[in-house]
Homo-oligomer: A and B are copies of this chain.
């Protein structure tokens, strides 16, 4: 199973904002969209980082109220791992768990096409394991 299949089910597309977007504006955006992170891209659409709920709380702890006026590029997680649609889900899951990332942007030919969260992967993995277990049960019933 590849990451592309997850995006087919979840839907392609992702929420992006520019590096100069303030944390105040990003908080509104996350709240309005009911999401946990936005991807930061420059004018050419190049990936610069991710700002998650956790990044915002960390910035508040470090800077107090002035964190809200700061641009995304000052508080974002800049070290972001991306993946392509053909990568196996298990590999991405292992990578996320190891590096403690919760979101992985998915790129196709160098362009961002979606965002996969650890929640998406885990939901998928549970469904897959339940199906496999059910198949084994059916096999044993038939034996």
Contact = CB atoms under 8 A, between A and B. Distances in A.
A54 interface: yes
Nearest to A29: B61
Interface stretch (A11-19, A76-84, A123-131): A123-131
A132 to B, nearest CB: 6
A132 B139 CA distance: 14
Q: In the complex this chain forms, how many copies of it are found?
A: 2
Contact of A129 (B24, B53, B66, B129): B129
A60 to B, nearest CB: 4
Interface in A103-126: 122, 125-126
Grouping DSSP codes into helix (H, G, I), strand (E, B) and loop, the A interface class, with mixed when no group exceeds half, is helix
Nearest to A32: B61
Contacts of A60: 23-24, 27, 56, 68
Contacts of A126: 122, 125-126, 129
Contact of A61 (B28, B57, B62): B28
8 contacts: A27-B61, A28-B61, A30-B61, A32-B61, A65-B65, A132-B133, A136-B137, A136-B140
